[in-house]
Structures are given as structure tokens and as C-alpha cells.
Amino acid sequence: MMIYINKKILFLILVSLYSMSNIRCQTVNIDNDSNLIYNPSFESHSSCPQRIDPYGIMDEVDAWWQPSHGSSDYYNNCGGKQCHVPKNKLGIQMPRTGESMVGIYCSLTDYREYIQTELKEKLKKGETYKLSFHVSLSEYSKGAVATLGGLFTTYRIADTTRQMLTDNQVRTLPSGLRQVVATFYKPQVVNNFERPLYDTENWQKIEGSFVAQGGERYLTIGNFYPEEQSNHIDPRNTTNILPGAYYYIDDVELYCLTCQSAIENNDATNGKSEVTANNPVDTVEYSVGKTVVLENIFFDFDKSVLLPQSYVALLQLTNLLNDNPKMKIELSGHTDNKGKDKYNEKLSEERAKAVYEYLIVRGIDKKRLKYRGYGAKHPIADNKTEDGRAKNRRVEFTITEL
């Protein structure tokens, strides 16, 4: 005999179970070492999400961010009412694993949302990789689509659009005029066009293999196709509350199928291969007084809150300090020469302090750390150009003991 359970009844049962379990919010890292994705099921987070903001920034979850101005959403059991699981503002769904998941709009209107992350290592030319992730359609959606996929790029996508991402290339014509040419991105892994993703009860797996061109370092997930090429359907199991196709995402995995080092590590460890974060300063010989610029540290404009794009660089610095337990450093913040001196000094100090506090949360003894802000006093490039000003806006560390 088969027993069918209404989803609302199931939701009430799940809520009761969550209440009885008395689970606390905490930062957890459940990475599988052989998976090339940091924080693959979104469990590790700096804070608990509180609300769905249509113009907000998904800055609570480690290692993931939104590459455009489309406001992707983070859900966690520790979150506020709008961002809770299983019931939240945009639907009812349990994470596939753990206590967290993310959500994005994918089609029906021109508005789109995406999520992006930096891989643990650059992909190797000619090697075959397999990407997989799971999605579940919100029952509040007006429709469903098929063509969700994963795009691998050598560069970080950063776009101000709230629409479908396109590859905007600047070309110089023979006349000397510069022209922006927009073309569709071609994700390496895409769900089958004939398989619309309309399941609101279960998680559906998207997976595929591809051969790397070499140097790909970033993964972006979303719908890269216009509506007419997305196989849009109107499922009967949705309530049409939301104006688009809204999907929850969980459990992202990327493995190299042919890399010799992965095969050797797998054999040596009886099935468990190992991948470690690349050190940002592998070629640096450490000595007292050595100053190193922290590359890829990101803050919101005119603020001192670290953005998730900084995760890899901060992880590498944490690993460096863990590998050298006697090392002590002084973090220093710097700005360009725009603005008043006192304001720049305060902002640069707050940014250096943000890195300092991050390291303490990650277990580094505060006795090993100091921080200071210098404003625009120590430029390393010409402040007359935008490129120079960008280089001057930085956080660096100086080794004080080793």
C-alpha cells in the first residue's frame, strides 16, 4: 500500500523536528577534499541571513557571491523568518543536505540571478571534469525552465546588469572606434533542453562532463539562455505567486576525471584524494620585515565589510599562519588619494581590522596579529589613473616575527 503525504503536513512535521533538535547556528565546513568547490553545500557562513532584499547582496555565505546585480538569496536554519528553512519567503523546501541552500530566479522575465565561486585550483588543459549540482523549483513559481547550467571562466564575472549575463567584448574597428559586442555565454554543463526542471517536492540533479581549455578558475551557475531557448513551461503544481522560475540550489561538486595527480592521490589514499588551496605567495621567501599585498580582497564600496569574493585569499592567509605557528604579522590598510585624509585613514584601518577579526574567528591567536590604517600615505601606483588607484586600495601584511 502506498501512502501519500501532503507537502503542508510534511512541512509541519519537519518544523516540529527542527524545534525539538534545538540546533544552533554555527560556521561549519564540510568540504570533501577531492571536490574542487569550496563550501559546496553552503554550510559555512559568516552570519545568519535575515531577510530577502530585492536589491541586496548575498554576503553571508562563505566562498559564494552574486556576479551581477541580481540579488541571489541565502537560506539557513539559523536565519530569520524570510530566510529560514524549510519555510521561507519564496517557498518551502528542506536543503538536500545540511541546513543551508541558496536560491535564484532563472527566467520568464528579463530579470536573472546567478551565483559564482572561485575554484580550489585552475582547471588543467585537456583534462576531463565532471560538474554536478541539485535544484528544486519553488512551488510559488509561475513557471519552470530546463537550461540551468554551469559556466567556467578564467576571469571573475562582475556585471552591473540585472538581466541575463552576456559576454561583452570591446573591439576596436579599423576606423579606431571602440565597439562593445555582446554574445551569449556558452556554459560547459547545461541541463537537457527536453527536461524541464519542474519538481517542487524533490531535488533534481544537473550534471555533465567537459574538457577544460585550461586556466578556468571561476564557476557561475544560472540560466544563460533567453526564455525562448530555455524550454519554459507552465507546471500545474505551482501557485504563480512569483513572477519567474525560482530555484533552490544545493550540493555543488566538481571532480577531475582524468588528472593523473588525482588518480595517484586516490590510489595512495584508498579512494580519498586531496586538494589543497594554492598559496598566493608560493614564490615568496618569508623573512622578518617582508611585506606582501593580499590579492583579491574585496569590500563593498566605501565600506569595511569583507565580501565573499575574498574567501579564497583569506583562507590562504589563514593556512599560511597555521603552517607557520611562530609567524606574527601586522595588517595594514591603504586607500587611494580621493577623499579627506582623516576619512581615508579611518576607512583603511577599519578594513585592516576586518581582516584581523576574520583571522581571529578562524582560530588565529590575536597575540600574533596587529592592524593599522595608513590612508593614502603609502601609494604603490600612480593615483592619476583608475588602474593605479585600484592598486593603491589594498590590504597587505608585514611579517614582524618568524
Determine the residue type at 293.
V
What is the rounded CA–CA span in Å between residue 242 and residue 260? 47
Q: What are phi and psi of 132, to 5 degrees?
A: -145, 150
pLDDT-based confidence at residue 20 (cuts at 50, 70, 90): very low
Question: Which H or E run contains 20?
Answer: helix 7-21
**Mean of the per-residue pLDDT values for the chain?**
86
Q: What pLDDT does 284 receive? A: 65
Q: Are residues 91 and 236 in the same domain?
A: yes
Residue where one domain finishes, among candidates 256, 275, 308: 256
Q: What pLDDT does 32 receive? A: 55
Q: Are residues 60 and 191 in the same domain?
A: yes
Whether 17 is covered by a domain: the verdict is no
Q: Across residues 256-264, what is the average pLDDT?
A: 74
User: Residue 265 pLDDT more than 80?
Assistant: no
Beta carbons of 159 and 278 less than 8 angstroms apart: no
The pLDDT tens digits for 129-182 are 999 999 999 999 999 999 999 999 999 999 999 999 998 777 777 777 777 778
What is the rounded CA–CA span in Å between residue 299 and residue 206? 33
CATH number, domain at 346? Answer: 3.30.1330.60
Whether 86 is covered by a domain: the verdict is yes
Q: Are residues 89 and 199 in the same domain?
A: yes
Residue where one domain finishes, among candidates 256, 279, 301: 256
Whether 337 is covered by a domain: the verdict is yes
What is the rounded CA–CA span in Å between residue 343 and residue 79? 34
Whether 370 is covered by a domain: the verdict is yes
Residue corresponding to grid cell 541565502: 74
Q: Across residues 45-58, what is the average pLDDT?
A: 92
pLDDT-based confidence at residue 283 (cuts at 50, 70, 90): low
Q: What pLDDT does 285 receive? A: 79
Whether 9 is covered by a domain: the verdict is no
Using the 8-state DSSP alphabet, how is residue 126 labeled?
T
Q: What pLDDT does 387 receive? A: 87
Using the 8-state DSSP alphabet, how is residue 42 labeled?
S
Question: Which H or E run contains 291?
Answer: strand 291-293
Q: What pLDDT does 30 receive? A: 40
User: Residue 280 pLDDT more than 60?
Assistant: no
Q: Are residues 51 and 186 in the same domain?
A: yes
Identify the CA nearest to 280 among candidates 308, 306, 319.
319
Q: What pLDDT does 330 receive? A: 96
Whether 15 is covered by a domain: the verdict is no
Q: Are residues 203 and 91 in the same domain?
A: yes
Q: Are residues 73 and 124 in the same domain?
A: yes
User: What are the residue ranges of helices labelled H in 29-78?
Assistant: none
What is the rounded CA–CA span in Å between residue 309 and residue 9? 39
Assign residue 296 a region: left if phi > 0, alpha if psi is -120 to 50, beta otherwise?
Answer: left
Q: What pLDDT does 7 receive? A: 45
DSSP for 221-286? EEE-S-GGGTT-B--TT----SSS-EEEEEEEEEEESS-HHHHHHHHHTTT-----PPPTTTTPPP
Using the 8-state DSSP alphabet, how is residue 81 labeled?
G
pLDDT-based confidence at residue 343 (cuts at 50, 70, 90): very high
User: Residue 266 pLDDT more than 70?
Assistant: no
Q: Are residues 150 and 47 in the same domain?
A: yes
Residues pairing with 132 in the sheet: 207, 253
Strands 73-76, 100-105: pairing kind: antiparallel
User: Residue 313 pLDDT more than 50?
Assistant: yes
Q: What pLDDT does 213 receive? A: 97
395 compared with 302, residue with greater pLDDT? 395
Q: Are residues 61 and 209 in the same domain?
A: yes
User: Residue 257 pLDDT more than 50?
Assistant: yes
281-318-103 Cα angle (round to 5): 105
User: Residue 17 pLDDT more than 70?
Assistant: no
Report the sign of the C-alpha dihedral through residues 241, 195, 152, 266, in that order. positive
pLDDT-based confidence at residue 216 (cuts at 50, 70, 90): very high
Report the length, in residues, of the chain: 402
User: Residue 275 pLDDT more than 60?
Assistant: no
What is the rounded CA–CA span in Å between residue 144 and residue 135? 12
Q: How many folded domains does the chain comprise?
A: 2
Whether 125 is covered by a domain: the verdict is yes
Q: Across residues 346-359, what is the average pLDDT?
A: 95
DSSP for 187-230? -SEE--TTS----SSS-EEEEEEEE--S---EEEEEE-S-GGGT
Q: Are residues 223 and 323 in the same domain?
A: no
Residue where one domain finishes, among candidates 256, 273, 302: 256
Strands 87-88, 178-184: pairing kind: unpaired
Residue corresponding to grid cell 537550461: 147
Q: What pLDDT does 264 receive? A: 52
Retrieve residue 299's grid coordinates. Answer: 569590500
Q: What pLDDT does 299 receive? A: 87
CATH number, domain at 163? Answer: 2.60.120.260
Domain containing 310: what range?
Answer: 291-401
Q: Are residues 300 and 249 in the same domain?
A: no
Q: Are residues 315 and 249 in the same domain?
A: no
Compute how many other C-beta atoms are within 10 angstroms of the C-beta atom of residue 58.
22
Q: Are residues 40 and 110 in the same domain?
A: yes
User: Residue 194 pLDDT more than 90?
Assistant: yes
Whether 248 is covered by a domain: the verdict is yes
The pLDDT tens digits for 67-103 are 999 999 999 999 999 999 999 999 999 999 999 999 9
